[in-house]
Amino acid sequence: GAGVSQSPRYKVAKRGQDVALRCDPISGHVSLFWYQQALGQGPEFLTYFQNEAQLDKSGLPSDRFFAERPEGSVSTLKIQRTQQEDSAVYLCASSRGLAGSREYNEQFFGPGTRLTVL
Amino acid sequence: DQQVKQNSPSLSVQEGRISILNCDYTNSMFDYFLWYKKYPAEGPTFLISISSIKDKNEDGRFTVFLNKSAKHLSLHIVPSQPGDSAVYFCAASATGTASKLTFGTGTRLQVTL
């Protein structure tokens, strides 16, 4: 496809369940980002990959959050033992540039996965 | 601590008039600024950006102004159209340091007929 795709679009989990959210970036995009967007807020950075290397994970809220991009394309965000405060929209974005380039900053976003933890 | 602030949660403008959306930031390391537009159930879409070496960037109906001394930027939409109704997010980044975009909380623009 032409854009960033994410699946599932909606996920309902019981508290304590593990979830896995998938992101397919735009083909050829080197940089991949995950953001968390709570209701009424702007997206907040979680983590950044350059190809398969996770270069920044400073935004991950706890060690229950884990992200990977093993082959430098598709990425998965995993949340273990979900809590109610994890309920949010999880956005994935990709860009063609490397950190420091203008193209790096122009990120293309997917539609997001809305996670609801009951 | 909110480093990027959009103090107006909503704005209503008549079709054909100018829409002005404002954004303030506190981190002096920010040197690149972007505006994103978001429709319901979709991800944000890149609209326009500006580097800190400039004070204005124009793209069609959209112009972004940057006032570094005031740590303030604004997005002007002229003329406003009903299809512009969306939530607009201001974002900022610091080249060479963090890889992340820092977003404001958004302003919901409603363009009325």
> What is chain A's Cα-based Rg?
13
Q: For A32-46, A67-81, A89-103, which range has the lowest pLDDT when averaged over its residues?
A: A89-103
* Interval B54-59 mean pLDDT: 96
CB-CB: which of B46, B96, B100 is closest to A106? B46
Contact (Cβ atoms closer than 8 angstroms) between residue B94 and residue B30: yes
Nearest to A114 by CA among B64, B78, B33, B41: B41
Q: In terms of pLDDT, which residue wins out, A83 or A40?
A: A83
How, if at all, do strands A88-95 and A65-68 pair? unpaired
Indicate yes or no: CB of A43 within 8 angstroms of CB of B45.
no
Indicate yes or no: CB of B91 within 8 angstroms of CB of A58.
no
* Interval A99-107 mean pLDDT: 69
Residue A11 pLDDT: 97
Indicate yes or no: CB of B43 within 8 angstroms of CB of A112.
yes
Residue A106 pLDDT: 82
Q: What is the mean pLDDT of chain B?
A: 93
Interface check for B39 against chain A (CB to CB < 8 A): the answer is: no
* Rounded distance between C-alpha atoms, residue B16 and residue B30, angstroms: 33
Interface check for B25 against chain A (CB to CB < 8 A): the answer is: no
| Residue carrying structure tokens 């940057």 | B66
| Residue carrying structure tokens 């998938």 | A22
CB-CB: which of B96, B101, B105 is closest to A107? B101
How many percent of chain A have pLDDT more than 70? 93
At A48-62, the pLDDT tens digits run: 999 999 999 999 999
Q: How confident is the model at residue B2 (pLDDT cuts 50, 70, 90)?
A: confident
**Tokens at residue B98, please?**
């963090």
DSSP count for chain B of H helices, then E strands: 0, 11
List the beta bridge partners of residue B63.
Answer: B58, B76
* Rounded distance between C-alpha atoms, residue A28 and residue A51, angstroms: 10
**Tokens at residue A91, please?**
């956005």
Handedness of CA B94, B97, B103, B104 (dihedral sign): negative
Q: How far away is chain B from the Cα of A87, in angstroms, using its nearest Cα?
A: 16
User: What is the SS3 assignment for B79?
Assistant: coil
Q: How confident is the model at residue B11 (pLDDT cuts 50, 70, 90)?
A: very high
Residue B89 pLDDT: 97
Q: Which residues of B touch A107 (CB under 8 A)?
A: 46, 101
* Rounded distance between C-alpha atoms, residue B108 and residue B86, angstroms: 6
CB-CB: which of B4, B45, B49 is closest to A105? B49
Is residue A1 pLDDT above 70, yes or no? no
* Rounded distance between C-alpha atoms, residue B99 and residue A47, angstroms: 9
Contacts of A53 (CB under 8 A, 6+ apart): none
CB-CB: which of B34, B43, B105 is closest to A111? B43
Nearest to B108 by CA among B3, B2, B6: B6
